[in-house]
Structure 1
């Protein structure tokens, strides 16, 4: 008798309404940003995507391989048109110039997106820090009223203090300067 097989299906996890909303908003923002892109940006992205693929590598292997095989005389009956391979070198150099430019354009776009995300992360972190400081004060007041001894712990007192972001940035800069010296 064959063993019974069971199939289990897993339902999609419930992500909660806030997270589901955030995912939808972010996806809509990506679509809106893509719709606002200039044609030049779309071309640069398409070129970068293609040149970063294995199809591009295979195409170049075939093209350059045939070019070299023909011009070193390995293909009988086909006349050499670039016996010194100077034209191939020039074509490859010009292609490299354009490809590096397309890659730099794409990297600049990605850097701008990453910078915007980092700024958003920073703003959300600062807001969260502010809100948590107020929640900590409220909880400490409740704990004190209820007579919870941990309410007077130094760490509990510390988390009730607002953090000044500029002071943190200055401290990090000072530490980095000290490490460089």
Structure 2
């Protein structure tokens, strides 16, 4: 038996060092223009520049353009909340897809490692049995007075 056969295969990683399942999911998402737009909006909506922009726009609007901004402000903020909650759900769905892809990939990898470890254990047992048999045979030859 060749000793290199006892070395388990290395885990596969992409060149970016990302989990292969996540890299594949990200590649699929980047191929779809709608998903790229949703990702860009979600990234911006979850940032501090988004908060600063809204604070400035609403302050200017309330102080400069409207004498009674509350009814229109309520309408606009409600509509924006509807759209932003949709983008939050899109982001959650994306995360769930990534987690499922990673879990599926990890399950397959762990099953492969289990099979590899089982094979290694069997090979080690076989080598140990062969070595023991050779040692016993060698001792019998040396102790034989013939």
Normalized against structure 1, the TM-score is what? Answer: 0.56
Q: Residues 62, 79 of structure 1: CA spacing in aligned structure 2 closer, same or farther, 3 A cutoff?
A: closer
User: CA shift at 1:53, angstroms?
Assistant: 1.0
Alpha-carbon separation, structure 2, partners of 1:102 and 1:79: 29
Alpha-carbon separation, structure 1, partners of 2:97 and 2:26: 17
CA contact (8 A) 1:82 1:88 kept: no
Q: Residues 50, 30 of structure 1: CA spacing in aligned structure 2 closer, same or farther, 3 A cutoff?
A: same
CA contact (8 A) 2:25 2:101 kept: no
Alpha-carbon separation, structure 2, partners of 1:98 and 1:80: 24
Gaps of 5+ in 1: 1-17, 71-77, 148-181
Question: 1 or 2, which has the higher helix percentage?
Answer: 2
Q: Does 1:22 align with 2:17?
A: no
Alpha-carbon separation, structure 2, partners of 1:134 and 1:48: 47
Show the 5 A alignment for 1:20-169.
22-24=13-15, 26=20, 29=24, 32-37=27-32, 39-68=33-62, 70=63, 78=64, 80-83=66-69, 85-147=70-132
Determine which structure has greater relative contact order: mean sequence separation of CA pairs < 8 Å that are 6+ residues apart, divided by chain length.
2
- How many residue pairs get matched? 119
Alpha-carbon separation, structure 2, partners of 1:79 and 1:131: 71
Alpha-carbon separation, structure 1, partners of 2:89 and 2:66: 36
